[in-house]
A and B are shown apart, each in its own frame.
Chain A
Amino acid sequence: MANRALYLKFLSAVLLFGAWEVAGRIPVSFAFPTFLESMGALFRMIGDGTMATAYAETLRPLVVGVAISAFLGIAIGLWVGLSSFFEWLFSPIFIVMQAAPLAALIPLLVLAYGIGLTSKVLVVCIMAMPVIVLNTAGAVRNTPESMKEMGKAFLATDLAIILKIVIPAASPVIFAGLRLGISAGFIGAILAELKITPTGVGDIITYSRSIADYPSMYAAIFSIILLAVLFLNLLEKIETVLFKGNQRGYVSD
């Protein structure tokens, strides 16, 4: 089973990269390099240390922003999900945040917080947090009533019901929210580097485009997508280890 899934993933990667190579060779556009050219640029930049310096720069707001979004997002989500007062107070904010056009907000953030790390972290948070909060709150609110009742019948305290029943029951949806939030966080980090100040990976993209070094530009874009995919897979592994029985969904009959 696991082998088959891996095989299929590999196959779809080969198909995608093959199509990319073909499209690059036709070529679709003179600004569209082939897959092999892009990989060449990628390995060159990894080799000369360009990538390492760029990621040192890019990962900072990304990691800080994603960490804040995950912790604060889950905490606020639990709170909102458990209390209708906090739902009334907070959930409009996150719904607006989720719907707001981020590009339009960036100038305001820069005005308020300058062009430093703070603004970039905020961009990542604005992208990542709402979906984490809303998913967590929704999952908490939908905890099966019968499980909570079971907890009460066996003398669980309110805290124990939250820790031992509500959170594990909500965990698949919380993790789904984390995955969506973290992918959005990656987008936010790159967006911040493109819109605020060109640093890190955003700088490679902007600079190599300005000098028409398209293979480098695509290599940078490819590397960030690859990183996001690897990270999401890691998250999935963590979830599987933490909540084994949840894989098959719920049993109620």
Chain B
Amino acid sequence: MAMSQIDPVVIDNAESAVSTRNISKNYGDVEALRDLSLEFPRGQLTSLLGPSGCGKTTLLKIIAGLLEPTSGEVEVNGKTVTGPGPDRAFVFQDFALLPWASVIRNVAFGLEMRGMGKSEREDIAAKYIKEVGLGGFEHSYPHELSGGMRQRVGLARALSVDAEVLLMDEPFSAVDEQTRRKFQEDLLALVQNENKTFIFVTHSIEEAVYVSDQIALLLPRPSRVHEIIRPSNFRSKGVDNIRRDPEYLDIVDEIWASLRTYVE
């Protein structure tokens, strides 16, 4: 089979932008994560894939420093995470835009919090607004945008702070199928062009296989890493051919075979 499964311990530490070590997280009596260890290779996109409620958002927020693990630790570039930091940016599933602020103010929010002056940060924000294809909407308000456009605002906000690690929580789940496919292609281009590490949460097996360099399959609560899959061969064949590639189809099938026992 044209795919390799790598034990997390085997990957060289220097190659990892983010590593999580023996993370456990309890919400009161609910054990969301148990002893989860995972390496996120630098410059690559890793998907967290698993059934609803298995703790994907929890893991992402622990990496972001928004939640404290009950035990275990997260390292970003070799430094232990104690809270949110300039090396990580978050794209929220529900966008989390400020409704009273225009698109440009929303996108510039992270830079504003870093103390950057108004004209400088708005220049940078304008650049990323164009980059995500929202040129001309700088002064619109979130309620004037479609769901897909709002998500792009959230993406532009995360890109503008120029963090090395991008944490994305089901960023495409609120948009329609066509927009979703467009976003997935854009994401592939982004991974290629920006030298950033992406951590990407998704429900969709096809989406995970399409965009990922590495897929971490999580099992239901208490969640551990069940399997790590590294699609290797079809990535170079061009975006248009991926969905027809036999390896792509094999991996989708294999993941479904692993997960189906947990979906009733």
User: A246 to chain B: which residues have CB within 8 Å?
Assistant: 99-100
User: A165 to chain B: which residues have CB within 8 Å?
Assistant: 98
Interface: B110 (CB within 8 A): yes
Bound form: Cα–Cα A153–B66 in Å: 7
Q: Tell whether, in the assembled complex, residue B143 and residue A245 are in contact, meaning their CB atoms are under 8 Å apart.
A: yes
Please count the residue pairs between chain A and chain B whose beta carbons lie under 8 angstroms apart in the complex: 79
Interface: A28 (CB within 8 A): no
Q: Tell whether, in the assembled complex, residue A251 and residue B113 are in contact, meaning their CB atoms are under 8 Å apart.
A: no
Which one, B87-95, B117-125, B196-204, B244-252, is touching chain A?
B87-95
Q: Summarize A's interface: helix, strand, loop or mixed.
A: helix
Bound form: Cα–Cα A23–B148 in Å: 58
| Given A146-B96, A251-B99, A252-B94; A154-B143 close (CB under 8 Å) | no
Bound form: Cα–Cα A246–B95 in Å: 16
Q: Tell whether, in the assembled complex, residue B143 and residue A244 are in contact, meaning their CB atoms are under 8 Å apart.
A: no
- In whole Å, how far is A161's beta carbon from the nearest beta carbon of chain B? 9
User: B98 to chain A: which residues have CB within 8 Å?
Assistant: 147, 164-165, 168-169, 245
Please count how many residues in chain A sit with their CB below 8 Å of the partner chain's CB atoms: 27
Bound form: Cα–Cα A150–B109 in Å: 10
Interface: A63 (CB within 8 A): no
Q: Which residue of A lies closest to B141 (CB)?
A: A245
Bound form: Cα–Cα A81–B5 in Å: 51
User: A152 to chain B: which residues have CB within 8 Å?
Assistant: 66, 84
Q: Tell whether, in the assembled complex, residue B94 and residue A146 are in contact, meaning their CB atoms are under 8 Å apart.
A: yes
Bound form: Cα–Cα A251–B98 in Å: 9
Digitize B139-150: 1 where CB-to-A-CB distance is under 8 Å, 0 elsewhere: 001110001001
Q: Which of A115-156 contact B (CB under 8 A)?
A: 146-147, 149-156
| Given A154-B157, A244-B141; A251-B100 close (CB under 8 Å) | no
- In whole Å, how far is B106's beta carbon from the nearest beta carbon of chain A? 10
Bound form: Cα–Cα A231–B64 in Å: 47
Q: Could you give 18 example pairs across A and B, Cβ below 8 Å?
A: A147-B96, A149-B66, A153-B88, A154-B84, A155-B113, A156-B113, A164-B98, A164-B112, A168-B101, A244-B141, A245-B100, A245-B101, A246-B99, A248-B99, A248-B141, A250-B99, A251-B97, A251-B150
Chain B residues within CB distance 8 Å of chain A: 61, 64, 66, 84-86, 88-90, 92, 94-102, 109-110, 112-114, 141-143, 147, 150, 157, 161, 174
Given contacts A155-B113, A245-B99, A251-B99, 15 further A-B contacts (CB under 8 A): A149-B61, A150-B92, A150-B96, A153-B64, A153-B66, A153-B84, A154-B113, A154-B157, A155-B84, A164-B109, A169-B100, A244-B100, A246-B99, A249-B143, A253-B94
